[in-house]
Structure 1
Amino acid sequence: MQINPASLAAQLVAAERLNTDALHQKQQSSLQAQSSAYSSLSSKTKAFQSMLKDLNDPAKMQAQKTTISDEGFLTVTSNGEASSGQYNFQSKQVATSHQVGIELDGDSAIPNDGILTVNVGDEEMAIDLSTLPSNANAKDLADAINNSSSNPGVKATLVRTDGKTNLVMTSTETGEANQISVNYTPVAGSEASEAFASAVDNMRELSPAQDAILVMGCGPGALEIKQGSNTFENVVDGLTIELTKAQPADSGPLQVSVSQDSEEMTEALKKFVDDYNELMDDLNKMTASGGALYGDSTARGLKSTLRNSVRDLPNGMTLSDIGIKTDREGKLSFSSTDFNKALEKDPEVLGKAMLGDDGLLKRMEKSLDSYTARDGIIKQREETIERSQKRLEEKMEAFDMRMEASYQRYLKQFTALNQMVESAQYL
C-alpha cells in the first residue's frame, strides 16, 4: 500500500503548529491593535494639548465685542484686555504712501551711463545704469529697482498713457517719514543722459506721503495722535484701531462701545468641554474590557492625569464656578445658564479660572507634556510595542524554521517507509 509522504508530513506539521500559530496570531493582533490605539491616542492628545494652548488667549476666554456708531471710517478690535465702556474716536486723516512718477519719452529712453539714486527716509539705493543690459528699456530699470538688495522700500512699476511711459515709484510703507527722493548723476553728456536727467528733475508727486491722525475724545481737551501707520495699537490698552477713511471735517467723533462677548466666551468654554469629553470617550473605549488598551497602565495614567487636571484651578476655584460639572465617569457637562450667572457676578471669572500661567488651561497643558513630549511616555510605550512586535516576528520566523525542519524529517521518514513497503512487495 502506497502512502503520500508529502501529504502526511504536511498534516503532521499542521497539527503540530496549530496551537502555536493561534497563539502567535492572537499576540500579533493584540500588539497591532495596541500600536494603532497608541498612534491614534498620540495624535488626539497632542491635538487636545494644542487646543488648550490656543484657548489660553484673552481674545477667546475674555472675548469682547465692539460697536461703532458709524461704519466705514475705522475698525476697532479688542484682545480681551480692554476696559469695557464707551470711547470717542475721530478718523481725521489716513496715512498714505508716497508715490512719484518720472515721465519718459518711450520705453527705450534709458541712458547707458550715470548713477540713479533713490532715497526713502535715511535709506538709499544707487543704481549704476551702465550695469543694465545693453539697450536697456524702462522695464529693465524698474526690475533693477525692485530687485536691488539695497532697495530702501519702494516698488517700481510702469504706467503708459498718451504715448508716454511713466516710471512710477511707490513707498512700501505709509507716512511722512517714508518720502521718496530721486536724483540722477550722468557721466557722459549724451542726449539720452540729458533727457533722462530732465525727466528726473521734473518728477511729479502723484500721491503725498501722509501720516494718519486719530483724535480721541471730544471737545477742546481731545487728544490728537499722529503716526505713519493707519494701525494704532498703543492708544488704548487692549484695543487695535485701524483707520480706513477720513471723516468729513465737520463731522463729530464716532462712539465706540466695548463690552463683553458672552457668546464668544461660551463657545470657547463649550469647545474645551467637548474636546475634553471626546478624548475621555476615546480613552474609556480603549481601556474598557475588550478594548485595545484594556489593563494598560499608561492609558490609565493618562486618564487619571486628565481627571486630576480639571480639578487644578487657581485661587481655590472649582469648575462649578464657571458652570461646569463632572460626572462619575470623569466627563464634563456645561451649563450656559450657570456660566452667564457667574459672569454677571464677576465679569473676569473665566479669565481668573482659565487664563495665564496659573490658569487651568496652562496647568493642564503642562500636565500632558510628559505624555506628548518627543521622548515622552506615549512615545516610549509605542517603542516598547514596536520591540515586542519585532521579537514576536523573530520568534515566528524561528518557529517556521523549526517546522520546516520537522516537515523535512517527516518527509524523509515517510519516503523511506514507502520504499520499504515497495521492497517488501517483491519478496
Structure 2
Amino acid sequence: MQVDPASMAMQLVAIERQNMDKLLKKQMDSLKGQQSAISALNTKLSSFQTMLKDLNKASNLQAQKADMSQEGIMTVTSNGKASSGQYSFFVEQLAQSHQVGLSLDSETDPLPADGVFSLTVKGKTLEIDLATFAPGATVKELVSHINGAMDNPGVKATLVRTDGKVNMVLTSKDSGEENAITLNYSGDASDALGVAVAGKTNITQAQDAKLRMGGDNPLTITSASNKIENVVDGLTFQLTKAQKSDDAPLLVTVAQDQEAVTGSLKKFVDSYNELIDELAKMTSSDPKSPGALSSDSGVRSLKSMLSNSVRDLPNGLSLSSLGIKTDKTGKLSFNETDFNKALEKDPELLGKALMGDDGLLKRMSDSLDPYTKRDGALKGRKSGLEAGEKRVNERMEALDRRMDSAYKRYLNQFTIMNQMMQTMGSL
C-alpha cells in the first residue's frame, strides 16, 4: 500500500510546528496589542496635557463675563484678569477707513502717456509711472496695478459706475486717521486724470474711534481701530455703533462667569477620570480579561504619579477645598455647591490652588512631559515593542525555513518508502 508523500509530509510538518506557531502568534498578538495600547495612551496623554495647559489660562478657569445695560453698541470680552465691577462708557464715534473717489468720464479712455500717480499711507508711497503702461491702457489697468503692487501701502482700488461715468474708488485697508490716503499726480493737470485728482471726493473721512470712560470727568480713549485692546487692563472692546449725544452712557458690569468656571472644572474632573479609567483597563491584572499593559511597570508608575499629583497642591490646599473629592478607585467627583461656597469665601482660591507656575495644572502637565515628549518614555517603550515584533518576525521566518527543510526531508523519505514498497511488491 502506497502513501501520498506530499500529503504525509505536510501533515507531519503541521504537527511539528503547531506548538511553535501558537507560541509565536501569542507573542506577536501581545506585542501588537501593547503597541496599540501605547499609541492610544500617548494620544490620550497628549490631549489631557493640552487641556491642562488651556485650563491654566485666566480666560478659562478664571473666566469673566461682561453684562451691558444696552445691546448693539459694543461687545466687551475679558481675559480673566480685569478688575470686577461696573464701568461707564460712551461711544462717541466709530473708526472709519478713508475712502476717496476720482470721477472719470469713461473707463475706456486711454490713460495719459506720462506722469506719475502716487498713493501715500502712513509715510509709505506707491509711485506709478504711467509711461510704463502699454499704449492705450485704461483706468482698469491702473486699478489692477494698484491692487497687485508689491509695495502697495494699504490701499484697495475698485471701479464704481454711476450715471454713465466711472469712479475709481480708493479705500484704505485699515481704519483711523493715521491711515488716510494722500494722492498726488505729477502729470498734466488738465488731462482727465489730473482733473480727477484735483476734484477728488472724500467719500468717507478717515476717522479714529472715540470712547469715553467715566462720568463727571471722563477719559477719552482714541483708537485707529474699532477693536480696542490693552487700554483697560484685561478688557477688549469691539465698537459696533456710535451713540447719540443725548443717549445714556453704557454701563458694563464685569464679574466672574460662574457657569464657565464651573464648566472648566467639570471638564478637568471628567478628563482626569476618563484617563484613570483607561489606565485601569490597560493595567488590569484580571486573569479573565488582562489589560494589554498589565505587566508594564512604567505605565503603572504613570497611574500612581497621576494619583499622587491630585494631592500635590500648593499653599497647603487640597482639591477637597474646591469641592473635589477622590474615591477609593482614584477617580474624582465635583460638588458644585461646595465649590461655590468655597469660592465665595475666597475668590482667589482657584488661582492659589490650580493656576500659575506652582499650581496643580502646571505641576501635573510637567509631570507628564517625561512620557509625552518626542524622546519620552512612551516613545522608548514603543520602539522596544517594535524591536520585539521584529525579533518575533525573524523567528517566524526561521521557523518557516526549518519547516520547509523538514517538508523536503519528509517528502524524500516517503517517496523512497513508496519506491521500496513498489519494488518489494513486484518480487
| Residues 63-118 of structure 1: per-residue CA shift (max 9 Å, x gap) | 11111111111211111111111111110111111100111122123234221110
Rounded Cα–Cα distance in structure 2 between residues aligned with 1:170 and 1:204: 12
Superposed counterparts of 1:97-108, under 5 Å: 97-108=97-108
The correspondence of residues 24-423 of structure 1 with structure 2, limited to 5 A, is 24-109=24-109, 110-186=111-187, 194-219=191-216, 221-289=217-285, 290-423=290-423
Equivalent position amino acid for 2:174 in 1: E
User: Per-residue deviation at 1:272?
Assistant: 0.5
Q: For 2:259 and 2:193, how far apart are their aligned partners in 1? A: 63
Q: Distance in 2 between matches of 1:19 and 1:263?
A: 62
Amino acid at match of 1:297: S
Cα offset, 1:135, TM superposition = 2.6
Following TM superposition, by how much is the alpha carbon of 1:148 offset from its aligned partner in structure 2, in angstroms? Answer: 1.0
**Aligned residues of 1:133 and 1:140 also touching (Cα < 8 A):** no
Specify the alignment match of 2:2 in structure 1: 2
**What's the TM-score once normalised by structure 2's chain length?**
0.96
- Measure, in 1, the Cα distance between the counterparts of 2:304 and 2:107: 75
Amino acid at match of 1:270: K
CA distance in 2, matches of 1:262, 1:94: 32
CA–CA separation in structure 2 for the residues paired with 1:172 and 1:287: 59
Structure 1 residues 301 and 414: CA distance shift in structure 2, 3 A: same
My pick for the range that moved more, 227-236 or 365-374, is: 227-236
* Post-superposition offset of 1:303: 0.9
Supply the distance in 2 between the matched residues of 1:344 and 1:154 (Cα, whole angstroms). Answer: 53
Q: Deviations over 1:199-228 (max 9, x none)?
A: 111111000011111111112x21112222
CA distance in 1, matches of 2:115, 2:389: 75
Percent identity over the alignment?
Answer: 57
**What is the alpha-carbon distance in structure 1 between the residues aligned to residue 215 and residue 302 of structure 2?**
58
- Residues 385-411 of structure 1 deviation map (CA, whole Å, 9 limit, x = unaligned): 111001100110001100000010011
- TM-score, structure 1 length as denominator? 0.96
Q: Which amino acid aligns with 2:94?
A: V
AA in 1 matched with 2:105: D
Is contact 1:89–1:214 with CA below 8 Å preserved after alignment? yes
Q: Matches of 1:133 and 1:312 in 2, distance apart?
A: 75
Cα distance in 1 for partners of 2:168, 2:341 equals 64
Letter in 2 for 1:143: S
> Matched residues in 1 for 2:134 and 2:15: separation?
86
Secondary structure (helix, strand or coil) at the match of 1:17 reads helix
Which amino acid in structure 2 is aligned with residue 410 of structure 1? Y
Measured against aligned partners, the alpha-carbon deviations of 1:350-373 in whole angstroms (never above 9, x if no partner) come to 122121111111111111111111
Q: Displacement, 1:134?
A: 4.0
Structure 2 gap segments, 5+ residues each: none
Distance in 2 separating the partners of 1:113 and 1:301: 80
Give me the whole-angstrom Cα distance separating, in 1, the residues matched to 2:394 and 2:138.
73
Aligned-partner Cα distance in 2 for 1:276–1:111: 72
- Partner Cα separation in structure 2 for residue 181 and residue 153 of structure 1: 12
Displacement after TM superposition at 1:425 (Å): 1.2
| Root-mean-square deviation (Å) | 1.4
What 5-or-longer segments of structure 1 have no aligned partner? Answer: none
Secondary structure, counterpart of 2:120 in structure 1? strand
User: What is the CA–CA distance in structure 2 between the aligned matches of 1:345 and 1:418, rounded to whole Å?
Assistant: 97
The secondary structure found in structure 2 opposite 1:316 is: coil
Distance 2:114 2:416 in 1: 103
Deviation of 1:133 (Å):
4.1
Q: CA deviation at 1:232?
A: 2.1
Structure 2 CA distance for aligned equivalents of residues 354 and 39 of structure 1: 29
What SS is found at the alignment partner of 1:225? strand
How many residues in Structure 1 have an aligned counterpart in Structure 2?
A: 422
Could you tell me how far apart the structure 2 residues matched to 1:408 and 1:32 are? 33
Deviates more, 1:346-355 or 1:406-415: 346-355
For residues 70 and 356 of structure 1, the distance between their equivalents in structure 2, rounded to whole angstroms, comes to 35
Distance 1:36 1:106 in 2: 71
CA distance in 2, matches of 1:134, 1:56: 64
- Deviation of 1:132 after TM superposition, in Å, equals 3.2
Moved more, 404-413 or 321-330: 321-330
Alignment partners' CA distance in 1, 2:155 and 2:27: 68
Contact 1:96/1:174 (<8 A) preserved = yes
Q: Is the 8 A contact 1:62 1:348 kept in 2?
A: no
**Cα drift, residue 130 of structure 1:** 2.8
C-alpha separation in 1, matches of 2:273 and 2:350: 20
CA contact (8 A) 1:118 1:126 kept: yes
